[in-house]
Amino acid sequence: MRLSSLKILVNLVKLIRRSHYFPRRFLRVWSYMASFRAFLNSPVGPKTTHFWGPVANWGFVAAGLADINKPPELISGNMTGAMCIYSALFMRFAWMVQPRNYLLLACHVSNETVQLYQLSRWAKGQGYLSQKKEESTSQ
């Protein structure tokens, strides 16, 4: 009896699929679920450090963006320079590692941009960049 009820269920599903009552969005949801499953099991998916490392590194970008409104006197030139070197090195690592880690690359490109801006603010605050402006205006 169990086998026959299973056959009836299978035939019912086949009938529904052939009819116009079968919702097309079910197929779209099914394909989205398949692509999400593929992402979960990919070599750079959330089950690996290739995913969680860049997610954690976005904190550096957020911290740099939060410091934009602070006065330049509070910026540490040594730390900002170290962050610039760190991001430059790991940009190359993200590009060279197999499989390529585009999430890590994007994170470090963003961090490099923010840190270079902070370094320019620090240099202006220390007077390193304002001397060039004074020389050009005096000529």
Is residue 60 domain-shared with residue 93, that is, in the same domain? Answer: yes
Q: Is the peptide bond before 54 cis (omega within 30 degrees of 0)?
A: no
Number of compact structural domains in the chain: 2
Alpha helices of the chain — where are they, by DSSP H?
A: 2-18, 24-40, 49-66, 77-96, 102-126, 130-138
pTM value is 0.65
Whether residue 34 is found in the same domain as residue 68: no
Read off the pLDDT of residues 39-52 as tens digits, 9 standing for 90 and up. 888 887 888 888 88
Question: 117 and 68, same structural domain?
Answer: yes
Same domain membership, residue 69 and residue 97: yes
User: What are the pLDDT digits (tens) for 109-129?
Assistant: 999 999 999 999 999 999 888
The domain of 28 spans 2-40
Asked if 92 and 130 sit in the same domain, the reply is: yes
